[in-house]
Amino acid sequence: MNDTTFAVLGTGGIGRRTLEVSQHKDGLTPVAACDRHGVAMDFDGLDVDELLEATEGNIDSGPGTGESDGADASRDDLETDGGAVASSGVKQHGENAGVVASAQARPSEDPIQEIIDRGDAIDAVLLALPNYEHDFIPRVADRFVAGGYAGVLVDVLKRSRVIGMLDERTGAFEDAGITFVCGAGATPGFLTGAAALAAQSFVEVESVDIWWGVGLKSGYEDNRGTVREDIAHLPEYDIDTARTLSEDEIEAVIDEHDGVLEFDDMEHADDVLLERAGICDAEDVTVGGILDVERDEKPTTTTVSVTGTTFDGETGTNTFELDDATSMAANVNGPAIGYLKTAVCRNRAGEYGVFGPAELMPGF
């Protein structure tokens, strides 16, 4: 594949690591990165080491609202909701929050639009943005369409309901020449693809069970955005209540659970993504897991179990396990970049529209 230029929207816990992992892959040149406050662009290639060093301990996180996506000015009131945005530079030191701390970046009123405006020089865009408003990522995609972008968009969103919103935009993406890969992180993403592969032994799939373990002690400060979104999956919370929690309230939730949060029956898009790929019904997919923010060791082994019936009448369960030594950052960002590179090949071959991770694997 020829060299691929790409941009990262959101330089929080995930986006920073995307840039770092991309340095280990061939043929990828990061040319733009932004967060809520600013944008860094260099079409000869960003100096990723400088950017990571400058933003180390200085991540802009917290409940982003999409307020600065410029798509709907009536949402400006959300900018100050719950007061948590004010504490958004959770690890900030120095004057500049987030990406603006890098010498390559500058403040921007509308960093996403600045990237859209240079879209002709960007092959692919990874959206490592928050997902508190379910239509935020679809609305950002609308802006790329409106801005005349023709290339690849990849997100790492988690919630099932967003996939339908993206599907509704299939025609617009096709007309624009956009190849959109949705849910391309770890789960959904890597594990959805693994389930699709494991299902190939069977002519009938009965169930897919995804069970994940994440140990995040040393990565906790950098991944507060993800932890907040995970708290929204606890039975006592939802996306709106989790979004308005202060940092102290988040700490209290974590303390109540002794640092270990267990999730059952999560709304993770693996279900609809497997259904749209024809692997099984969404209702036959369950996702759960354990997050330990006080230890780096995984509290449980991440496992995908696919149960089904073979053509010759046997019932069996194929399992796929991640080594406990592999971190969340490795399992989100490696696959996200892998799906991005695959999508660039599809895009160059003229295949446009919405794809899930399972559709980029072998199918029945």
Ligand X SMILES: NC(=O)c1ccc[n+]([C@@H]2O[C@H](COP(=O)([O-])OP(=O)(O)OC[C@H]3O[C@@H](n4cnc5c(N)ncnc54)[C@H](O)[C@@H]3O)[C@@H](O)[C@H]2O)c1
- Which chain residues interact with ligand X by CB under 6 A? 9-15, 34-36, 59-61, 64, 66, 68-69, 98, 111-112, 128-131, 156-158, 185-189, 223, 225-226, 229, 332
Q: Are 84 and 246 within 8 A, CB to CB? A: yes
Concerning whether 134 is annotated as a catalytic residue, the answer is no
Concerning whether 233 is annotated as a catalytic residue, the answer is yes
Shortest Cβ 164–ligand X spacing (Å): 17
- The string of DSSP letters for 117-147 reads HTGGG-SEEEE----SSTTHHHHHHHHHHHT
List the beta bridge partners of residue 38: 107
Q: What CA–CA distance (Å, rounded) separates 290 from 13?
A: 19
Q: Considering 37, 158, 298, 341, which one is annotated as catalytic?
A: 158
Q: Considering 229, 268, 341, 359, which one is annotated as catalytic?
A: 229
Q: Considering 37, 67, 133, 233, which one is annotated as catalytic?
A: 233
Q: Looking at beta carbons, which residue is closest to ligand X?
A: 12
Q: Are 15 and 154 within 8 A, CB to CB? A: no
Q: Which amino acid is it at 259?
A: G
Q: Which is nearer to ligand X, 185 or 215 (CB)?
A: 185
Concerning whether 229 is annotated as a catalytic residue, the answer is yes
Q: Which is nearer to ligand X, 149 or 202 (CB)?
A: 149
Q: Which is nearer to ligand X, 78 or 199 (CB)?
A: 78
Q: Which is nearer to ligand X, 38 or 151 (CB)?
A: 38
Shortest Cβ 200–ligand X spacing (Å): 23
Q: Which is nearer to ligand X, 331 or 347 (CB)?
A: 331
Give the full edge-to-edge strand order of the sheet including 353-355: 105-107, 38-41, 28-34, 4-9, 124-127, 152-155, 179-181, 353-355
Shortest Cβ 190–ligand X spacing (Å): 7
Q: Left, alpha or beta for 70 (phi > 0: left; psi -120 to 50: alpha)?
A: left
With a CB cutoff of 8 Å and minimum separation 6, the contacts of 171 are none
Helix (H) or strand (E) holding 353: strand 353-355
Residues tagged active-site: 158, 229, 233
